[in-house]
Amino acid sequence: MRQAHGVELDAEAIAAARRNAELNGLENLTFTDAKAESLVWDTERPDLVIVDPPRSGLHPKVIETLLERRPRTIVYVSCNYDSFVREWLRFGTEYRLADLRALDLFPNSPHVELVAKLTAKTD
């Protein structure tokens, strides 16, 4: 991996990510304490984007930016089936669902965590 950039609204999570990067000797990582929709992308077309939105789903501007930049792979982590399906319908014209896993991280509840791998249909 040449470089990676993390965006997170929680300052404590950013601090933990920086500590983990340092502990693991990773120098090609940067982190920004910001909302994803306010991020100015400095990469024309990233190879991989990982998103883990709140239950309400991705901000419309993030979806728009992803569709414009067309990363080769999007890993979408979702805690809300309804928002995932709604957003998959937006991505489905440009991406194929390469893999989908449901993880029971909340036993004895109706909630599951979905992890989807979306790959661009054409390069």
123 annotated among ligand-binding-site residues:
no
How large is the greatest C-alpha to C-alpha distance in the chain, in angstroms? 43
Binding site annotation covers 8? yes
Best CA proximity match to 54, nearest among 21, 15, 87:
87
Burial grade of 62 (CB within 10 A; 0-12, 13-18, 19 or more): buried
Rounded to whole angstroms, the Cα distance separating 6 from 87 reads 21
**Active-site residue, from 79, 112, 115, 120:** 79
Does residue 45 carry a catalytic annotation?
Answer: no
Please say whether the beta carbons of 105 and 113 come within 8 A. Answer: yes
Residues annotated in a binding site for S-adenosyl-L-methionine: 8, 52
Binding residue positions: 8, 52
| Catalytic positions, written as ranges | 79
